[in-house]
Structure formats: C-alpha cells, structure tokens
Structure 1
Amino acid sequence: MRRRILRAVIVAVVCAVLLFAVPLAVAALRLYRQDEVRELQQLADRVAVTVPADVHHPHDPMELPRVEAGTWLGVYDEGARLVTGAGPARGDGPVREALAGRASSRLLGDWLVAAVPVGSGERVRAVVRAGAPADGPLRRAALTWAGMLALAALVVGVGAVLGVRSSRRLAHPLEALAATAGRLESGDLAARAAPSGLPEADEVAAALNRAAARIEGLLRRERAFSADASHQLRTALTRARLELESALATEQGGRGPHTPGPTGVEAPADPRDAMRAALEALARMETTLDDLLALARDLPEQAPLDVAGLLADAERRWHGEPAAVGRPLRVVVEEQLPEAAGSARAARQILDVLLANALAHGSGMVTVTAREAAGVLAVDVEDEGPGPPEGEDVFARRRGAGGPADGAGDGGHGIGLALARSLVEAEGGRLMLSRRAPHPRFTWLVAGGRDGPAL
C-alpha cells in the first residue's frame, strides 16, 4: 500500500515536471537564438551607418570594428560580392534578401546569419552581413537546462519525501482497520478502531465499530439466552415434576383424594389430573421458550400493555403453587392506571421472575400491586420475608445456580433478577428494590406511551 502511494506520488511529480520543463527548455533555446540573432542584427546596423557611399573607392578604405572570436562580419556590394571582412565570397540567401531591400536573418547549417541593407529608398548600394556559430545559444541553453535539471531533481526529491509522509498517513489508518478486522475475525469482539483524522477512513472505522458492537451484542444475547432460558424453564419443569411425583406417591401410598405428597404439594387423586397439570406446565414452558427466543432476537414490540390482564394471567398461573405451601397470592389493581406501552412477552417474563423470587426467598403472603406513581405505572411485588442482607446486590448476575426454582447461587438471587432488570431496561423502564427489609418490595416502573414521562 505504501509503495503504491509513493510510486503514484513520484510518477505524478515527474509528469508535472516534464510537462513544464520540456516546453520551458525548448522556449529557452529559442529565446537564446533570438537573442543571438538580435545581437547580430544590432552589430550589422552599427556597421551599416559607417559604410561609405562607394564601397569600391580606393582612397576611402573601410574599417570594420573588432568582433568576438568566431563571429564573421563582412560588407557586400550591389553584385553580392564580398568587399571586405569575413564571409563567403558570393552572398548567400540573407544577402540577396537584403539587396532586395529588407533585413534578413536565418539559420544556415551551423551558423546564425543576419544581413542588413545599406542605402535608402529603392536603391541598396551595399549589404552588411554578420554571422556567428549556432552552438553558442545551444551552450547557453545547456547551462540553463542543467539548472532546470537540478531544480527538477530537487522537486522530485521533495515530492518523494512528501510521498513517504503521505503514504504513511494514508496507509496507517487502513493498516489499523485491517488489524482491527483481523482481531474481530479471531474472536476479539472488544476490538475497536481508533479515529485517525482521515475522514474517509474514520467513516469506515465508525461503521466497523458499529458492526462489531452489534455483533458483540447479538452474541452476548445468544450466549445469555441459554442461561436465561434454563432459569425460566426450571420453575415450569419443577412444577411438572412435582405434579407427576405427587401423583405417583399418591398411587403408591394409597393416600386420599387430596393428600399432600412428599413435595408438600397437594396431589390430585386421579393421575389424569396430574398429567393435565403437567401438560399445562409444559405448555407454559413452551410459551416461556418462545418469549425468550423473541426477546433474544431483539424483535421490537411496542404496543399498549394491558397490565390488569397480565396480572390476572399471572395470578391464574401462579395461584396454585403458593397456596399449596400456605402462602396466598394477592393481586391488587388500582383504578385509572396510567397508560403503558411495551412488550407483553417481556412483561410476562418480568412478572414470572419477580413472583418466583418472592416464593423462593421470601415468606408469607405475596402481594402484587399495580398503582400510579407520579404519573407512571408502577407494579410492586412484595412478601413478608426478612429481605436480603444489607449491601447485597440482588440484581448481580451470578453463576452456579443452586435451587431449581430460584436459580440462586453463592447466597445470591442468581440470574433471575438480572434477567428481569435487563428486560425492564430494554423496555425503557426501571426495576429497583424499593424496600429491602423487612417485607422486601420490588418496584417495576413501566415505560409510558408516546406522551408518557421519561424514566
């Protein structure tokens, strides 16, 4: 890349120098020749004014001025014959043209010749001819060409230096982009291209960074999906297992129609009822899986939320399990609730996480309240337990899930609350522990519609 840029710069500079230097060199040679011809004409004019009326007068010989070595100066009569000085014995073309009454100059072989007529009117009585070697202007032009060549070499050298700097400046951003792309290809999704100051390269870098961030987010969601799905599906699997185990224990032990089984859940007398309950739990698992898949794929869904209907559905789905262990579920929906918008899938998963957390870590009655809080819809989920220890971050995502229902590990609340908070924030709302102890309460502030207040 750098060599190509440097080569292109040098070729451009050389072409520019040639386009200017060649015409200038030709013009310099012509200028020196014209200057030489003009000097010869001036010399001939000075001599012409001293030519006597009769060039053949024996008592009035002509005296020609001294000239530089190599310069010929001669006087010709009306018959184009050399009278005095140096030159061809018979007048050549310029002399004949001067005899016709007009000054003439031309290049004859290796000589520059200028001829000037002597006389007035239509009568020309003599011609002064001056000549000089044609290589004089060429030598002067050669010196000029040498200077131009040195200047051209200097210009090409400067162009090469600028080309090296430009090639570095242009190639470095592209090399950095290639290195960043290579790191992304090797799996380093945190690699980002830094600004270089080159607008075009910065646009490509910004697009690459956006694509890397998008890919990183998608992969993060895909990787988190398995953990989120396992956490959410664990409760439904536990329900189905409890139903089947209770039915099996009832059948083996011969218990009464509604005798509590080994798990503490009241077992139905008819095994078909347990099967139907298990099928319902499996159906809920399928719905949960579909919801999580849609949320993991970041499918936008902004529609009015029927909070009362969502809470009624949650009460129907969760009523049996708390009641079986002596923990009633109470749902309170105030009148004239503010409008809310968002994804019903996300709302269903958020409620499931909060209810599962209350059952797993709390005690006593679980109360769900939908109310208005400063113009925003708020959903509270609280129980009568002691609450988490002071200083514990209940929303931290932890590894090593413990129980099947809650997904908690190392004494924490596990992945469930972290999932719920991420879903709430993705919907533009807020989820917080509004009261830690006693009787812990989680508050979900649901995002409003278009005209609703910002959270």
Structure 2
Amino acid sequence: MRRRILRATVVAVLCALLLFAVPLAVAVLRLYQQDEIRELERAADRAALTLPTQVRELDPRELPRPRSGTRLAVYDTRARLVTGSGPASGDAAVRAALAGSVQSRQVGGNLVVAVPVGSAKRVRGAVQVSRSGAWAWRRSALTWLAMGGLGALAVGAAALVSVRSSRRLAQPFEALAATARRLENGDLTARAATCGLPEADAVAIALNRAADRLDRLLQRERAFSADASHQLRTALARTRLELESELTISPPSDPHAAMRAALESLDHMTTIVDDLLALARDVPERTLLDVAALLTEARRRWWDDLAVAGRRLRVVVEDDLPPAVGSRQAACQVLDVLIANAASHGRGEVTVRARDAGEVLAVDVEDQGPGLPEGQDVFARRPAGEEHGIGLTLARSLVEAEGGRLFVSRRAPRPCFTWLIPRPNRQNSGPDLA
C-alpha cells in the first residue's frame, strides 16, 4: 500500500510538472530569443545613428564596436556590402530594410536584424546585425536546468510527504491486518484500536464487533456442549433408573411397558437435543408464550417422577394471566431445570406459580426445603455432579438470552427461584429487568 501511494503521488507530480514545464520551457526559449532580437535591434539603431549622409563615405572606425559574438554589416541602397561582417549582397532581410521596414528573422542557426538608415521617405542604406542563436539556447538551458532542479525538489518534497502520508494511512490498516491474523489464529481477545481515520475506524469497529460476536458464539457453543451433556445425562439417568427398577421387580412385570417408558425417555432426549440445537442459534426466538400451557406440560412431565419419591407437584396459575414473549424451547428447558433442581436438592411439595408482576410475568418455583447456603452463588458454573450442578447456569443463560431475568427471590426457608419473562408491549425496546 505504501509503495502504491508513493508511486501514485510521484507519477501525479511528474505529470503536473511536465504539463507546466514543457510549455514554460518553450516560452522561456521564445522570451530569450526575443530579448536577443531586441538587443540586436538596439545595436543596429545605434550603428544607424552614426552613419554619414553618404553611406559609401563611412569610416569603419566610426561604427560602435558590437558585443563579442555579434556581427555588424552596413549596406548601401543597392544592397551591397559597404563595411562589416556579412554577405557581399544583402539578403531578404536587408532588402526589406531598404524598403523602409525593420526586419528580424532567424536564418539557419543565427538571429538576424536589419534596420533602415534614414527616414521612411529617403532610405540611405541598411544596417544588419546578427548573432548565433546558441546564446538564447544556452540561457534557456541554464533556466531549464534551474527549473529541473526546482522540479526535482518538488518531486522530492512530494515523495517525502507521500511517505509520511502513506505511513499514516497504512499503519492503521496494517494494524487491522495484524488483528485479523490474530483472530484467524484463534486469539478472540484481539481488538483493533481506533486511530482517528474515519475509514480505518469504521473497519476497526466492524472488526471488533465481529470479534465480539465470534467470542460470544464460541462461548455459547462451549456452554452448549456442557449444558447438552448435563441435560442428556439427566435424561439417561432417568431412563436407566426406570429400566433397573423393572429388572428388580420379582416376578418380572410386562417388559413392553418398560420398553414403552424407555422409548418415551428417548423421545424426550431427542426433544432436548432439538431444543438445545435451536437455542444454540445466535438469533433468539421471540414469540408469544402460553405460560399456562407450558406449566401444564411441565406438570405432566414431572408428576410421576416426584410421585415416585413421595412428593407432590402443585401448579398455580392466576386468572387472566397476561401473555409473555420468548422462545418456547428455552421456556421448556428453564422450567425443567428449575423443577429438576427442586426435585434433586429440595424437600416436600414443589410449587410452580405464574403471576402478573406488572410490566413482566413472573414464574416462581419453590419447595419446602431448609434453604440455600448463605453466600453461595448457585448460578456459578461448576463441574457436573456438584451442588446445584450446571443446570441453573444453563437456565440463567437461556433466560438472559431471551431478555428476561432469573434470580433467587428467597434463600431460606422454602427456597424460591423467580423467573421474570418480558411482556409483548416491551418487545421492541426490551424489558428493563435490572
């Protein structure tokens, strides 16, 4: 990039110099030639003033001495050389001067000036002064050399400015390229700095946004792998427990019933995988949620499991419950995590209550256990198998991705988790749940 900028600048300056220098060089040559002609005219006029009435009676010593390199000749009215350095017979310039007009011409490589002697009514002769045109060319060459030096200085200055400008222009893009290479090598912490150049800053901002998006996507994929394995292990453990329970029954019960239960569990695992794959997408789904129907389905899924443990699941839905917005798959996963947490770590009856909380819809999940340990963040990600495991982390991430909020509204006794779901009238601007 720097070389291209330097090359383009130098070429542009050279073109501009040529466009101005060539006509100027021609004009300088013409100017010096005209200066030479005017000087020859003055020399011829001075010589004409010194001539006697009879040109043939001229004493050559009375003529002014011309400048070195200048030739002076005097002709009579018949264009014959009287004295001086010139052809024996006058040329066209001399004959024109004898006709009463001043003539200046370039003959070969010489500048020739011929002036009449006397008045326009009575011409008594002609004076011709000539000099080599190389004088004008030499003066022009010196001027052209000076112009070339100035042009070289101009090109050098333009190149210097171009180098500094190209460095200033190239450095931000080189930094952007370096940041892009770091991102390509897997360093998602790389970020491009702004430099004050609007175009480069726009690219840097776009690259940083892309890096943030990639970082979020990668973190989401990693979390998805852990969350999916946790959810599937839970479903597999349930299926294994059901099959082992059937095997321990004596005498054996109907194996078809166990198979049907296992198939239902497998179908449930397939649903979990499909839901998690849908939730792994970067664009969240925002549709109307029938919270009452979701709670009814959750009750059907978890009633038997809690009943086997001698516990009851109670679902309470307020009348005229307003609708909410979000992803149905995410809502199902959140409900399953909260109920599974109450079933695994709580005691007694599990109550799921949906209520209108003003600008949001609230879902409370509580049990009759002694409570949560003080100071423990139950939503922090920990290895699977530890207290509260990975499920609550999954639930909170799903809730926040849908624009809601999940928190512990009561730690002890009877611990309660509250899930706030956005209402439809908050869809455009997003809920303020902080």
Specify the code of the residue in structure 1 equivalent to 2:381: R
Question: 1:121 Cα shift?
Answer: 4.0
Q: Which residue of 1 aligns with 2:164?
A: 165
Match for residue 334 of structure 2 among 337, 344, 350: 350
Give the CA deviation at 1:49: 4.2
Q: Secondary structure at the match of 2:55?
A: coil
Per the alignment, residue 263 of structure 1 pairs with: none
- Asked if structure 2 preserves the Cα contact closer than 8 Å seen for 1:110 and 1:134, the reply is yes
Provide the residue aligned with 2:344 in structure 1. Answer: 360
1:239/1:278 contact within 8 Å kept: no
CA-CA distance at 1:138 after TM superposition: 2.0
| Alignment-derived partner of residue 25 in structure 1 | 25
How many equivalent residue pairs? Answer: 430
Q: 1:78 to 1:232 in 2, by over 3 A?
A: same
For 2:360 and 2:204, the matched residues in 1 are separated by 41
Work out whether 1:303 is the aligned partner of 2:302: no
| Offset at residue 71 of structure 1 (A) | 1.9
* Cα drift, residue 52 of structure 1: 3.9
Q: Distance in 1 between matches of 2:213 and 2:389?
A: 26
Cα deviation digits, residues 112-140 of structure 1 (max 9, x gap): 11111234445432112122232222222
CA distance in 2, matches of 1:390, 1:96: 126
1:440 aligns with 2:423: no
Rounded Cα–Cα distance in structure 2 between residues aligned with 1:244 and 1:147: 103
- CA drift of 1:451 comes to 4.7
CA RMSD of aligned residues (A): 2.3
Taking only the aligned residue pairs, the percentage that are identical comes to 65
| Distance across 1 between alignment mates of 2:52 and 2:319 | 135
Q: Tell whether the 8 Å contact from 1:338 to 1:375 is kept in structure 2 after alignment.
A: no
CA distance, structure 2, for counterparts of residue 250 and residue 183 of structure 1: 61
Q: What is the rounded CA distance, in whole Å, between the counterparts of 1:71 and 1:25 in structure 2?
A: 25
Residues 337 and 371, structure 1, Cα contact 8 Å, conserved in 2: yes
On the 8 A contact 1:51/1:62 being kept in 2, the answer is: no
Q: Distance in 2 between matches of 1:140 and 1:343?
A: 89
Residue 312 of structure 2 is aligned with which of 322, 328, 331?
A: 328
Q: Does 1:454 align with 2:425?
A: no
Mapped partners of 1:176, 1:61: distance in 2: 85
Secondary structure of the residue aligned to 1:56 is: helix
Structure 2 unmatched runs, 5+:
none
How far apart, in 1, do the equivalents of 2:201 and 2:92 lie?
73
Structure 1 distance, partners of 2:147, 2:60, is: 49
Among residues 276, 279, 291, which one is paired with 2:275 in the alignment?
A: 291
Aligned partners of 1:278 and 1:270: how far apart in 2?
A: 13
Give the conservation status (yes or no) of the 8 Å contact 1:72–1:87: yes
Distance in 1 (CA, whole Å) between partners of 2:297 and 2:198 is 55
Q: Secondary structure at the match of 1:338?
A: coil
Who is 1:370 aligned against? 354
* AA of the residue aligned to 2:43: L
Q: Aligned partners of 1:24, 1:90: CA distance in 2, in Å?
A: 39
Q: Distance in 1 between matches of 2:87 and 2:237?
A: 129
Aligned partner of 1:181: which letter? A
Q: Aligned ranges for residues 407-422 of structure 1 at < 5 Å? A: 409=386, 412-422=387-397
Q: Do the aligned partners of 1:429 and 1:447 also contact (CA within 8 Å) in 2?
A: yes
- Measure, in 2, the Cα distance between the counterparts of 1:40 and 1:387: 120
* 1:401 paired residue number: 384
Match of 2:296 in 1: 312
Partner of 2:371: 387
Instruction: Give, in whole Å, the separation in 2 of the partners of 1:361 and 1:66.
Output: 128
SS at the partner of 2:62? coil
Distance 2:51 2:193 in 1: 87
Deviations 1:267-321 (A, max 9, x none): xx54433332222222211111110011112354221100000000001111111
Q: Point out the more displaced range, 112-121 or 315-324.
A: 112-121
1:191 aligned partner: 190
Superposition deviation, residue 14 in structure 1: 2.9
Return 5+ residue gaps in structure 1 as ranges: 256-268, 403-408
**1:51-130 correspondence to structure 2 within 5 Å:** 51-57=51-57, 63-121=62-120, 123-130=122-129
For 1:389 and 1:302, the matched residues in 2 are separated by 35
Q: CA deviation at 1:450?
A: 3.7
Q: 238, 258, 261: which one pairs with 1:274?
A: 258
* Larger displacement relative to structure 2 (29-38 or 89-98): 89-98
